[in-house]
Amino acid sequence: MAGTRVGLETAAGVAWITLDGPARRNALDAAAAADLTAACERVDADETVGAAVITGAGPAFCSGADTASLGRLRIAPADQLYDGLDELYGAFRRFGALRVPTVAAVNGPAVGAGLNLALAADIRIMADTAVLRSGFAAIGLHPGGGHLYLLDRAGPGLAAAMGVFAQPLSAERAVASGLAWAAVPAGELRPAVTALVAHLAADPPLGRALAATLGRTVAGRGETGWDQAVEVERARQMWSAARPRKEA
């Protein structure tokens, strides 16, 4: 079964990054994570881009880490597990550090590390049928990649409710909690996002200036807090990954 491809389409000042592996629900392995990082480099280098959007192909946004890859990491030596987790989460942090304002167009379920990716964006617009799931604790795995930090940054109480108590979040509740800005019918997702970023697409220098200011001035947006959270979670995630796997 082929892995997830990462597509990049740039038009009219907007870069659309698409995770394209519907058979795997757009799960990410090391190769896809590297492709995502490369796509981000291309976006940053293109001064005609004023905003970037990440979305998924097919019915899912992103199911997180590829299960086969995660299974191999579970039994790998500690140094390989450390590096493997860093490859995946480093790509998400790279998306979160883009030099333009970012939108997650959440077209379907975002689970586990896939939820991290949605939370890495500056704002989220969801299909009204999409569901967000932490996914880690329910399978006996400690969250990683700064997951609890990102949930807390998105809204009060979300880290405990979703990350610890494994409660899913519907699109409607995501909007009510402040995690998402809007929920729209699936067929209207792309037009809604396009309208949201239109002023940034028309003025890329302004978009890049706003992204820089957002990163430096808004509480919780700087890299330091996220970087620290990644390291706090990493040791506990490695411990939980090395245990015998819990069956769902």
CATH of the domain at 72: 3.90.226.10
Residue 135 lies in a domain: yes
Task: Label residue 216 exposed, middle or buried (CB < 10 Å: 0-12, 13-18, 19+).
Answer: exposed
Q: What pLDDT does 216 receive?
A: 80
Domain count, the chain: 1
Residue 84 lies in a domain: yes
Residue 209 lies in a domain: no
Residue 191 lies in a domain: no
Query: How large is the average pLDDT for residues 194-210?
Result: 98
Residue 230 lies in a domain: no
Give the lowest-confidence range in 4-8, 96-100, 217-221, 227-231.
Answer: 217-221
Query: How large is the average pLDDT for residues 125-137?
Result: 97
Residue 211 lies in a domain: no
SS3 state at 196: helix
Q: Which domain holds residue 52?
A: 5-186
Confidence of residue 243 (pLDDT cuts 50, 70, 90): confident
Q: Over 80: is that where the pLDDT of 99 sits?
A: yes
Per-residue pLDDT tens digits for 65-92: 876 666 565 655 766 666 667 777 889 9
Bridge partners of residue 35, in order along the sequence: none
Q: What pLDDT does 118 receive?
A: 98
